[in-house]
Amino acid sequence: MQKVASEPDVRLIVFVPAYKQAYLSEIYNHQRIRFIGIEEAPLLSNKKFSFFGRLFSAMIPTYTANLRHRERRHRSHSFQGFLKFFIGRVIIFLFSKNPVAHRLARYLDRRFSPCRYLHCYFDEFQPTALFTTDVFSGMDVLFMQAAKSKKIPVVGMVRSWDNTTTKGLLRVLPDKLIANNEIIKEEAVAIHDVKEKSVFVSGIPQFDWMVRKEHSSREVFFRKISVDPQKRLILFAPAGYLLSDTDWQLCEILKKGFRDSSLPSDVHFLVRNHPGDPASLEKFQPDENFTIERPGTTFGQRGPKLSEMSPDEARHLVDSLFHSEIVVYVNSTIGLDSLPFDKPQIMIEFDGWEKKPYIESVKRYHDEDHMVKYLRTGAVKIVKSPEELFSWVRYYLEQPEMDRENRKTAMNQQLYYLDGRSGLRIADFLLSQLVLQ
């Protein structure tokens, strides 16, 4: 954003949720960047817009889409729940691979969209182009629909590695699409009708932080988290309250591992919560072997997009990964985050001490399309019991080089470019599109 705004003849108008406007304006203060807050709820709650959101969520032929339907059916045993499940399966079967149905759905979606309420901003600012950072987000969809109706070119970006297989069919086809890697590009073309020549592969800008070697010394970092620097640090990322209710049990199991000597006594666990989806750890009483962190600034209610991480918090994440010996998680992008640092990864596939059916177990998350591709690289050890978890922790502490080649494969697959210049590539691409107008 700073790179684009540094061009003397470019001005950025950035639309953000109203509750984030002051926060983002302070962090990204620039004379040619203006943040405008939008009250999203009235637009996103529009009944017709919500209906099409549900329709598009069913129109992709992925395992994850089927899994979401099965989850909803499992939670609702009523006739209405069964009917919704049946309709969803019919939509997937009939329309998920039908480009004609996709075009019709997109036309009707835009025809009945409340995007006209955003036209005033386009009339006021007369933009040369629209850049949207999350093409699957509801507000981004509305802005893209408004731009299309105003004949304004749209450049869109896929925000995260799972979006093309989990978020439903792309509701608006941007003129140009920015993808993090070749996998996302292939899925955008195969599933979402995106033209291959319109996709620009950039790498992941969030990972530019990871390769700049701007990490704190071990002494400084361990003093910051109040841990003895002689300890060996293991980073543990719980699933979060939206995905699991047994994170606290996993912490208790780790705690017990110290008592029965299943874990070395010189290990310390840094429990890093997801910024927008912290774990429910109220039942867990940490001892001297645990440090629990909840990063990010949360705005109002909890939720994945209702929080932001400051630059200082991003640097802290880099330090946490750099100084950890192993990364342990349930279902998280923290595995991707750790790849530049070549950290052994362990993924937990059991639900504390409970025995849950598949449709309620954390195991199901590991069968989602994006995760299956990642796991096939062999970069991660999946553990199905506390005994396996402790065994692999001990093994990786002694032989951290194990699976290094697999981690390199995963890094090339997922991170694609890892040169600290992904953000600059995106900026240069955006500027090139402005020149073409």
Q: Which residue has the higher pLDDT, 73 or 238?
A: 238
User: What are the DSSP calls for 198-255, one per residue?
Assistant: GEEE---GGGGGGGS--PPPHHHHHHHTT--TTSEEEEEE---TTT-S-HHHHHHHHH
The Cα–Cα gap between 369 and 303 comes to 23
- Where residue 360 falls (left for φ over 0; alpha for ψ -120 to 50; beta otherwise) is alpha
Q: What is the rounded average pLDDT for all residues in the chain?
A: 91
The mean per-residue pLDDT over the stretch 190-204 comes to: 96
The mean per-residue pLDDT over the stretch 190-206 comes to: 95
Residue 72 pLDDT:
82
The Cα–Cα gap between 258 and 266 comes to 10
Domain boundaries, the chain: 40-46+97-204+420-436, 209-295+307-414
pLDDT band at 97, cuts 50/70/90? confident
Nearest of 369, 263, 416 to residue 325 by alpha carbon: 263
Q: What is the pLDDT of residues 12-48, one digit of tens each?
A: 899 999 988 988 888 888 778 899 999 999 999 999 9
Token couple for 24: 């983002």
Q: What is the pLDDT of residues 44-85, one digit of tens each?
A: 999 999 999 999 998 999 999 889 888 888 887 777 777 777
Token couple for 411: 């890094």
pTM equals: 0.91
Residue 164 pLDDT:
97
The Cα–Cα gap between 205 and 195 comes to 23
Looking at domain 40-46+97-204+420-436, its CATH class is alpha beta
- Identify the H or E element spanning 348: strand 345-348
CATH fold of the domain at 209-295+307-414: Rossmann fold (3.40.50)
What's the CA dihedral at 315, 362, 266, 215 to 10 degrees? -10
Q: Are 185 and 178 in contact (CB under 8 A)?
A: no
Q: Are 396 and 346 in contact (CB under 8 A)?
A: yes
Range name among 39-43, 93-97, 135-139, 229-233 with the lowest pLDDT average? 93-97
The mean per-residue pLDDT over the stretch 91-95 comes to: 79
pLDDT band at 379, cuts 50/70/90? very high
Q: Which residues of 34-51 are buried (b: 16+ CB within 10 A; e: fewer)?
A: ebeebebeebbebeebee
User: Helices marked H in 309-368 — which ranges?
Assistant: 311-322, 334-338
The mean per-residue pLDDT over the stretch 414-436 comes to: 87
Identical fold, 40-46+97-204+420-436 and 209-295+307-414: yes
